[in-house]
Amino acid sequence: MLRNLLFLFALCLWIVSCKQSAPEEQEQVAAAVDESGDFKYLTETFADKKIIRYRVPSFDKLSLQQKKLVYYLVQAGLSGRDIIYDQNYRHNLEIRRALEQVVSNYSGDKTTADWKNFLVYAKNVWFSNGIHHHYSNDKFKPEFSQDYFSGLLDATGASLSAEAMKAIFDPAFDARKIDQSGTDLLANSAVNFYAPNITQAEVEAFYAKKKASLKDPRVSMGLNSTLVKNEKGEISEMVWKVGGMYSGAIVEIVGWLEKAVEVAENPAQAAALKLLIEYYKTGDLETWDKYNIAWAEATEGDIDYINSFIEVYHDPMGYKGSYENIVQINDFEASARMAIVAENGQWFEDNSPTLPAHKKKDVVGISYKVVDVAGESGDASPATPIGVNLPNADWIRAKHGSKSVSLGNIINAYAEADGPGLLQEFSNDETEIEFSQKYGDLASKMHTALHEVIGHASGQLEAGAGQPAETLKNYASPLEEARADLVALYFIMDPKLVELGLVPSTDVGKAEYDSYLKNGLMLQLRRIEPGKSIEQAHMRNRQMVSKWVTERALANGAVAFENRNGKTYFDIKDYDKLRELFGELLREVQRIKSQGDYEAGKNLIENYGVQVDADIHAEVLARSESLNIPPYGGFINPRLVPITDAQGEITDVKIEYPDDFTQQMLEYGQKYSFLK
């Protein structure tokens, strides 16, 4: 639950960038180059998405052994790519393969509107790892007829089952990947962690019984399994492991991880990899915990990785981990600067506005690095986070520490690909624009650092309180993200950051307050269809924080709203008063988590984070439409190419930068399709 899947932080980068943009896509693409003028960042846009490339400047500085390690870890990640498709929806793999066959083999007329609409549909599926939108959870609507699609299948020798065809063309059938609007969280959720005939009550009863039998109640129940029901109505777990569910892909993952062990940078790194391999082979969640401890404590070396079933955002019940992989190379200069945040973790904890009983007495093992991503897969690709904090288990973080990373080259690629249009349109005045242009980039980076390093690593549960997934249930994820955001918002205005040399003045915090409220109250609504409520955890978090604080800030004069020529603007009048409100809300959210107060957590999210103001929503959509800035970005991965000698030994690894999203998706489908 601790991944900073804050695609909105990428949105912050759109706002703070002072680069020029152009209304036409071709001009945007032409402008997306690096300093040498020959690297194209933005490659295409379609639907509500843009496709970006990222560079890996540190790769050529690595030794041959390190390059091998990166190559093996990237191959391990890509080998599990099929898993995320199946986890997202039971018909995704069948549909994806049919789409790939059509795109690869169709030789008919490709100038028609039907073909162009079909290609957009295929790209949407690749982007979201399935037929449901990666953020809104709504099913993609095909802008072509079933008859036309059947003709494409016939022309290319592809086929689909009747139910898979229904999944594409019947708008009411499995309409949402995750639907939290009803009394049963699974009833209308199409995500494939639970068989369609299993109810929320049955899942809760199953895991309540399982927990009672655990020797260690801290074990992450259900993280790596699908629940199924037999003809007798008995429920059991299909564990994701070698010889179990997803075995075909996991065997390939393990093979590459075993190669990685052979070229590990140090014994601690090798030991952690061996435990990950053992976990994949056995499916044992106690081994998973041992691996997380070993991984968190393996802080030496230039290469690191995230691999396995980790984040639970896509499970409405909060148990099941989505498959993901991120391979990282340390950015030494940037990491040295930001390590100051981690080194002062105890100061931040001691000076938090949270209740004394909810503060850690001994903050241990926090590490923070800025990294270059070398490759991503699963839930991290094509749409990626820009910061990550792991492990997720509170007890492991408390005793053994955690790792926080900021994906530096991803952040840079976002900034290179977009322009300042949103900043100009939605800022209240020139002073706000100047603040953002001067401090916005640093403000966004500091927020990310404080969110990941301090926010997710802070606080403690009260004795006897259950884990948040059990006590707070489907509200655990948005509340945890709110807690981390609030830590960042509270401390980004603290003079301590100036004292530590992290920011030149507290004006950096003011720029972040402007940006955060603007995003939480308005800009993120670009991602919501008219008439819809907010479902995604990070979006619920941001609106809840912004609305709760603004409601009180309007009353005490800290914030004012204005309407000029039919356009809404807000103006922060007193940043210090606003900071006090962020601290007040942080204290309450930490209390809710520490005590497992479900009703209070539910009320916060439902009352402030779910419903959308229809008038503001319509205004935001109208004002942003002409800017032609898609609200979602995803990435084409670099390609790592091993160079071998006559004996087949790797003598070097070269890095290439593909620029065609469709071709990369087809290549991945051909090379990394290991599930039947």
Q: How does DSSP assign 150-188, residue by residue?
A: HHHHHHHT----HHHHHHHH-TTTT-BS---SSSSTTTT
Q: What is the mean pLDDT of residues 554-569?
A: 94
pLDDT for the residue 628: 80
Pairing type for strands 49-53 and 632-636 reads parallel
- Residue 417: pLDDT over 70: yes
Q: What is the mean pLDDT of residues 282-301?
A: 96
pLDDT for the residue 283: 98
Of the pLDDT bands very low, low, confident and very high (cuts 50, 70, 90), residue 501 is very high
- Residue 247: pLDDT over 50: yes
Of the pLDDT bands very low, low, confident and very high (cuts 50, 70, 90), residue 79 is very high
**Exposed e or buried b for every residue in 505-530, given b needs 16+ CB within 10 A?**
ebbbbbbbbbbbbbbbbbbbbbbbee
Least confident of 5-14, 176-185, 202-211, 471-480: 5-14
pLDDT for the residue 331: 87
Least confident of 340-344, 387-391, 418-422, 641-645: 418-422
pLDDT for the residue 26: 26
Q: What is the mean pLDDT of residues 284-288?
A: 97
pLDDT for the residue 225: 98
Of the pLDDT bands very low, low, confident and very high (cuts 50, 70, 90), residue 332 is confident
Span 87-106, pLDDT tens digits: 999 999 999 999 999 999 99
Q: What is the mean pLDDT of residues 342-348?
A: 93
- Residue 652, φ and ψ in degrees, nearest 5: -170, 165
Neighbouring-strand partners of residue 641: 654
Contact by Cβ (8 Å): 382, 78: no
pLDDT for the residue 9: 34
Return contacts of 94-99, CB within 8 angstroms, 24+ apart.
94/160, 94/161, 94/164, 95/125, 95/131, 95/160, 95/164, 95/167, 95/168, 96/125, 96/126, 96/130, 96/669, 97/158, 97/669, 97/673, 98/153, 98/158, 98/159, 98/160, 98/164, 99/125
Of the pLDDT bands very low, low, confident and very high (cuts 50, 70, 90), residue 418 is low
Higher pLDDT, 561 or 26: 561
pLDDT for the residue 493: 97
- Residue 57: pLDDT over 70: yes
Residue 381 and residue 389: Cα distance in Å, rounded? Answer: 17
122 CB contacts (<8 Å, ≥6 apart)?
Answer: 99, 100, 102, 103, 662
Cα 319 to chain centroid distance, Å, stands at 17
- Residue 449: pLDDT over 90: no
- Residue 368: pLDDT over 70: yes
Span 577-626, pLDDT tens digits: 999 999 999 999 999 999 999 999 999 999 999 999 999 999 999 998 88
Q: What is the mean pLDDT of residues 472-500?
A: 96
Span 126-141, pLDDT tens digits: 999 999 999 899 999 9
pLDDT for the residue 6: 35
DSSP state of 463: T
Percent of the chain past pLDDT 70, that is, above it, reads 94
Of the pLDDT bands very low, low, confident and very high (cuts 50, 70, 90), residue 482 is very high
Q: What is the mean pLDDT of the chain?
A: 91
- Residue 36: pLDDT over 90: no
pLDDT for the residue 37: 53
pTM above 0.75, yes or no: yes
pLDDT for the residue 5: 36
- Residue 185: pLDDT over 90: yes
